[in-house]
Amino acid sequence: MVGTPTNGRARLAFSVVNGGQELCLTSTPTSIAGSDYGGIEFTKEDVEALLNEKLKRKDRFNLKEKCDNMVEYIKKLKQCIKWFQELEYSYLLEQKKLQDELESSEIKFSEMEMIVKKKEEELNSIVVELRKNNAFLQEKFTREESDKLAAVESLTKEKEARLIMERSQASAFEELARAQRELSSANQKISSLNEMYKRLQDYITSLQQYNGKLHTELSTAEDDLKRVEKEKAAMVEDLGMIKGELALSKASQDEAVKQKDAMMNEVTCLRREIQQVRDDRDRQLSLVQNLSDEVEKCRESAGKYCEELNEMKEKTNELEATCSSQSIELRTLQNHLAAAENKLQVSDLTAMETMHEFEDQKRLVRELQQRLADAENKLMEGEKLRKKLHNTILELKGNIRVFCRVRPLLPDERSSPEGNFISYPSSVESLGRGIDLVQNGQRHSFSYDKVFAPEATQEDVFVEISQLVQSALDGYKVCIFAYGQTGSGKTYTMMGRPGLLKEKGLIPRSLEQIFQTRQSLQLQGWKYEMQVSMLEIYNETIYDLLSTNRTAPDVLRSENGSPIKPYAIKHDASGNTQVSDLTVVDVHSAREVSFLLEQASRSRSVGKTQMNEQSSRSHFVFTLKISGINESTDQQVQGILNLIDLAGSERLSKSGSTGDRLKETQAINRSLSSLSDVIFALAKKKEHVPFRNSKLTYLLQPCLGGDSKTLMFVNISPDSSSASESLCSLRFAARVNACEIGTPRRLTNTQS
């Protein structure tokens, strides 16, 4: 039976929304300042109280009072939904603002990162240059050390030579002492001694001049060393070693000066001795001849000593030149070090500033992310409450829920020269629920309970129907069926793609959820028994997909030759549907049901047309009967889950069907046309609804006209060549969404 309309104006509102002619969709919600809802706010307790509110009736048969109570209750629900819509819009605005702030902060963060990277590169280049300079200085330092070691060795050699000279002079003095005693015999050699004396005087004068030069050079060297020491004091600790070595070299030079002073004293002593020799030359004439050879030897040694002194002079000049160059280099290095230290200080300051700004930006980003997460949580809670309120209104009104799903474009469809003719409005009221279709330049707007874009996954689709599937375990009759043209993705939505876990359809996912929930409810004392049956309606004939014999039952005959009755559809007084002689299997796990589904899919009738390589040529009906009992409360529930994959509608001119395919197409179109007639009659509230015009509508009679929770998936193709078929499917879905079939009733009783 078809119930009378509970609220005519509410049904008219749904028709206006789906017609898209009188309702103007805007991007901002309508203000409620001047409406009946203005200034009303709802808390969570108010919403729960509103949802749990029970209608109070004095007289059970007073329909007018019932209608008034329902109108008042629906008015409250509308107020609550309007308030949630505005709250959702404010959350969306805040979320958009937070996203803009987050993007700006991310841009600033990226800029700061670039600046920090540049600073790091500059600092790295400066550090590399300093390391190169340090290596160069170390090399020069090692060279100077080697030169100084060579100078020290030469000085030691000079000392040894001087010691040898002193020893030879001592021996000469001894010989002169002997010669003084023998001057009487050396008168002939006085002339030669005089000449030697003159030469020695010249040599002494040259030595004095050389000593003067050495004094001046030493004074300049001391000044340079003092200046170098002052410059070295500003260097790093590593250059202190050079200063110490220079001090050692200064000390060695001082020792050399002392040694030269000693030699000068010795020369004065020699002069005195020569004066004595003059006095005693008469006695030493005899020894001059013997000493001449020794003097020649001394000359040779003196020449060698002069050459060594010249070499030492050249080395000292070279050392002075190296010291001056090193002092210049030290000054330049000090300037470089000062500049590098200034750069380091500036870079440290800028780095500290950038780090502080970076920390501030990170703190701001964390705050924005936290605010965004809070806003998203609030938005999710509001969306859940909105869905719950919306489902409650639909259950109270008894409307069939409609979900629309648009499949993605196939590879061979992407090269279409025409543009995309399907769009999705972005306003708050239509976000996720509206769809627009353009045909011949005219826009057609539709609104459903949910619209899934092509990028929606199987998991996203199942999340929206999971609560409806749960209702089957709670004792409700639930029916979900997929409608659409051939190739629009109905079978993929219901069954999925075998072998791929992420692409499982609604049927296997629903069974997994039911068996998981059944296991969790066992702790509360519930025990469930489940039975599965699967059939298909092919050419207006019912076939049992779980039977081992796939021959049509109306042509089967028994062993004695008598014909077997075909499968008959029966409805009892409580609204339950049974098909006679249909195979019913007891199941205990989702794996068993998956095995039966594979068996049924192999037995199902499929064929190839110009619109689809593997087109479903029959209506597939999956039924799960659930019987539950709670031994602790003696409560019993009986739920039914019907999952239906309808055959695809198609035009004969487009599908190119001939022969058997032509008969199949005609039978499919007739059954779908009968379904359209039933929906039209329910929408118009006609007294007679033609459920018996086809096997499909007669099988769906409890779902369309009884106390079942019914949901229809309308699948459409985004291909521009299917625009007319998609428009017809959307219009049919709009009529289905406006149908009121009665309030769902839970099938429960108490065990006797």
Give DSSP secondary structure letters for 219-271.
HHHHHHHHHHHHHHHTS-GGGHHHHHHHHHHHHHHHHHHHHHHHHHHHHHHHH
- Say whether pLDDT at 557 is over 70: no
Residue 586 inside a domain? The answer is: yes
Measure Cα distances from 7 to 68, 571, 620, 684 in Å: 10, 29, 35, 13
Pairwise CA distance, residues 743 & 265, whole Å? 136
Pairwise CA distance, residues 88 & 432, whole Å? 13
Residue 527 inside a domain? The answer is: yes
70 contacts: CB under 8 Å, gap ≥ 6: 6, 7, 55, 396
Residue 142 inside a domain? The answer is: no
Residues β-bridged to residue 615: 607
650 close to 665: Cβ distance less than 8 angstroms: yes
Q: Which two tokens stand for residue 512?
A: 């997994």
Pairwise CA distance, residues 196 & 370, whole Å? 107
- Say whether pLDDT at 440 is over 70: yes
Q: Check whether 20 is labelled as a binding-site residue.
A: no
If you average pLDDT over residues 726-733, what whole number do you get?
89
Q: Check whether 636 is labelled as a binding-site residue.
A: no
pLDDT digits (tens, 9 = 90+) for 693-720: 888 888 888 777 667 788 899 999 888 8
Can you give the three-state secondary structure of 8-51, one letter per residue?
HHHHHHHHHHHHCCCCCCCCCCCCCCCCCCCCCCCCHHHHHHHH
Q: Is 621 helix (H, G, I), strand (E, B) or coil?
A: strand
416 or 292: which leads in pLDDT:
292
pLDDT class for 458, splitting at 50, 70, 90? Answer: very high
Q: Check whether 486 is labelled as a binding-site residue.
A: yes
Q: Check whether 485 is labelled as a binding-site residue.
A: yes
- Per-residue pLDDT, 714: 93
Mean pLDDT of the chain: 76
Residue 237 inside a domain? The answer is: no
> In 3D, which of 713, 721, 725 has the Cα closest to residue 420?
721
Q: Which two tokens stand for residue 485?
A: 């043209």
Residue 189 inside a domain? The answer is: no
The domain in which residue 621 lies consists of 398-550+564-719+738-749
Percentage of the chain beyond pLDDT 70 is 74
Structurally, how many domains does the chain consist of?
A: 1
* Range in 51-60, 571-580, 581-590 the model is least confident about: 51-60
- Per-residue pLDDT, 404: 94
Q: Which two tokens stand for residue 38?
A: 């203005």
Percentage of the chain beyond pLDDT 90 is 7
Q: Check whether 513 is labelled as a binding-site residue.
A: no
* Range in 241-255, 415-429, 612-626 the model is least confident about: 241-255
487 close to 716: Cβ distance less than 8 angstroms: no
The CATH number given to whatever domain includes residue 601 is 3.40.850.10
Residue 625 inside a domain? The answer is: yes
Interior angle at CA 226, CA 223 and CA 230, nearest 5: 140
Residue 431 inside a domain? The answer is: yes
- Say whether pLDDT at 566 is over 60: yes
If you average pLDDT over residues 235-245, what whole number do you get?
59
pLDDT digits (tens, 9 = 90+) for 4-35: 333 333 333 333 333 333 333 333 344 443 44
User: How far is the first Cα of the chain from the last one, in angstroms, to the nearest whole number?
Assistant: 30
436 close to 474: Cβ distance less than 8 angstroms: no
- Say whether pLDDT at 494 is over 60: yes
Mutual orientation of helices 281-397 and 240-279 as an angle, nearest 10°? 180
Q: Is 296 helix (H, G, I), strand (E, B) or coil?
A: helix
Tell me the range of 207-221, 347-361, 509-523 where mean pLDDT is highest. Answer: 509-523
Q: Check whether 583 is labelled as a binding-site residue.
A: no
* Side chain identity at residue 221, one-letter code: A
* Range in 99-113, 298-312, 471-485, 675-689 the model is least confident about: 298-312
Residue 485 inside a domain? The answer is: yes
